[in-house]
Amino acid sequence: MLEIKNLHASIAGKEILKGLNLTIHEGEVHAIMGPNGAGKSTLSNVLTGHPAYTITEGEVIFRGKNLLEMSPEVRAREGMFLSFQYPVEIPGVSMVNFMRTAVNEKRQYEGKTPLSASDFLKLMREKKALVGMDNRLTKRSVNEGFSGGEKKRNEIFQMAMLEPCLSILDETDSGLDIDALRIVAEGVNTLKTPHTASIVITHYQRLLDYIVPDFVHVLADGKIVRTGGKELALELEKSGYAFLNS
């Protein structure tokens, strides 16, 4: 589904990704761990098309197409979703209006007819129940006044609404207590199908107890330096990243 070949990317003239390679197939969950500054957030920004980053070398193929040529909204419509580490607040734009616009843009891209107002509200109710989203939060402006945990829950709710094939969870567990983390993980697991894939970027092993990865990669100094199964996460938790210096 996703093939990253020799990706080099920089921001403000500083190279962060230095030849990253990664292949992801349908149905797989890939965890990405690594020390701070290694390039984990850069990777999610580059994949989603954040304008601050420049690709200097390499290619990325998403569902058989050249990802790097697509604008951020086209990448999203093709089925890529990012659960942001710091979701932004958008006062004055209601959750309902925002989601209806997003869902219908995706449907239009896929050649489907837009949802009527009542069908859309039905979809919202269904997805709210699916991920345990509080009713009051969807009546407000996007993320306005939401706590950290509520913002993360809102990301998963939006994921449920948009049904992406590739979800990138950027430090979804940061700022969450164990209960909130469990609920978010449950939401992610409920949305999983044999045709979806996930990239879970995390510092801590505990999220991976709930969202069990098929592969664990260590991203260090702009490259993937080690890959293993889920046991690798436990090993890293025990021994840290000291092995990188040897």
Partner 1 sequence: MLNHIELHTGETREIIIYNESNVDWHIVQEKGSVLRLHVLCLSQSNTADEQWKTSIVVEQNGKGCRTELYGMGLLHGMQQAHIHTKVMHNVGGGYSSQLFKFVLDDQAKGSFRGELKIMPDAQQTEAYQTNRNILLSRQADMLTEPQLEIYADDVKASHGATTGQLDDSALFYMQQRCIDRETATKLLLCAFFDDVIKTIADNQLQETIIEEINQIL
Would you give the DSSP letter of residue 212? -
Whole-number Å distance between alpha carbons of 109 and 162: 12
Q: Is residue 192 a contact residue for partner 1 (CB under 8 A)?
A: no
Among residues 24, 82, 197, 232, which is the contact residue for partner 1, using CB under 8 A? 82
Q: Does 92 bind partner 1 (CB under 8 A)?
A: yes
Structure tokens at 154: 């809102």
The residue among 77 and 223 lying less far from partner 1, judged by its C-beta, is 77
Specify the residue, 69 or 73, whose C-beta has the smaller distance to partner 1. Answer: 73
Task: Report the candidate in 25, 4, 11 with the shortest Cα–Cα distance to residue 215.
Answer: 25
* Spatial distance between the Cα atoms of 218 and 213, rounded to a whole number of angstroms: 13
Task: Quote the least distance from Cβ 97 to partner 1, whole Å.
Answer: 7
Q: Which stretch binds partner 1 (CB under 8 A): 20-28, 82-90, 181-189, 221-229?
A: 82-90
Q: How many residues bind partner 1 (CB under 8 A)?
A: 29
Report 94-133 residues binding partner 1 (CB under 8 A). 97-98, 101-103, 105-106, 109
Q: Closest separation between CB of residue 65 and partner 1, Å?
A: 16
| 12 forms part of the interface with partner 1 (CB under 8 A) | no
Question: Of the two residues 8 and 106, which places its CB atom closer to partner 1 in the complex?
Answer: 106
Own/partner contacts of 130-138, CB < 8 Å, gap of 24 or more, are 130/160, 130/187, 130/190, 130/191, 131/156, 131/157, 131/160, 131/186, 131/187, 131/190, 131/191, 132/183, 132/186, 132/187, 133/157, 137/95, 138/95, 138/96
Q: Which C-beta is closer to partner 1: that of 40 or that of 77?
A: 77
* Rounded least distance, CB 78 to partner 1, Å: 10
Longest distance between any two alpha carbons in the chain, whole Å: 60
N residues, the chain: 246
Tell me if 161 sits within 8 A of 76, measured CB to CB.
Answer: no
Q: Which of 93, 130, 165, 225 binds partner 1 (CB under 8 A)?
A: 93
Which residues 148-167 are close enough to bind partner 1 by CB under 8 A? 158, 162
Using the structure block, give the residue that is written with the tokens 């040529």: 69
Q: Which of residues 56-75 bind partner 1 (CB under 8 A)?
A: 71-73
Which positions touch partner 1 (CB under 8 A)? 48-51, 71-73, 76-77, 81-82, 84, 87-88, 90-93, 97-98, 101-103, 105-106, 109, 141, 158, 162
